[in-house]
Structures are given as C-alpha cells and as structure tokens.
Amino acid sequence: MTLNDPIRLSSDVVTREVGEETMLLDLASGTYFGLDPVGGRFWQLLEEGKPPRAARDVLLGEFEVTEAQLDSDLEALLADFAANGLVTAGA
C-alpha cells in the first residue's frame, strides 16, 4: 500500500487522545494501537476523508521532517494499518 493508493478506514476502529499519543482500538479484534503525534495526526487526517497523499502534504507543513523520511514512515504505517485490518484498499 502506497500513499497514492485510495484507502478505506475500518468502521470498527475508535480513537482516543491520551496525552500526546493517539490510541486506536480495533473493536473487531480487541487490539489497541498507540500512535505518536505524527502517526496520530495522520490517522486524524484520514478520518477527515483526506487521501493518504493529501494527508502527507499537510504533515509536511506541520512537522519538521524530510519528504523522503515522511514518505517512508507513512508507507510503513499504512502497511501496518493494512496488516492489522485498520484500513483496506479502495475508496
């Protein structure tokens, strides 16, 4: 899964902010996931309906990170989301 792929968020995921961390709970599996501020903001932008590439563009303006590093980190995060059933391919 890449930043250019359309995705759909699982309807079984609920989120909660805990300090600087975003906690995701997958109700289907009962599994919790913790995201750092960048990952949490990425998830928030995806929940708002932004495609992954557009969410990445917002993050570039909000965090001090290189494009290459952010792209690599977000694609790895998307792969983790997909492997755990938090997102699926498709619009």
Read off the pLDDT of each residue in 50-68 and give the average, rounded to a whole number.
96
Read off the pLDDT of each residue in 15-40 and give the average, rounded to a whole number.
95
**Parent domain of 35:** 7-85
Q: What span, in angstroms and rounded, lies between the C-alpha atoms of 66 and 32? A: 29
- Has residue 2 been placed in a domain? no
Average pLDDT, the chain: 95
Read off the pLDDT of each residue in 54-82 and give the average, rounded to a whole number.
96
- Has residue 91 been placed in a domain? no
Which 8-state DSSP code applies to residue 86?
Answer: S
Mind listing the pLDDT tens digit for each residue in 31-49? 999 999 999 999 999 999 9
> What domain count does the chain have?
1
DSSP assignment of 17-83 equals EETTEEEEEETTTTEEEEE-HHHHHHHHHHHTT--HHHHHHHHHHHS---HHHHHHHHHHHHHHHHH
- Residue 14: the pLDDT is 95
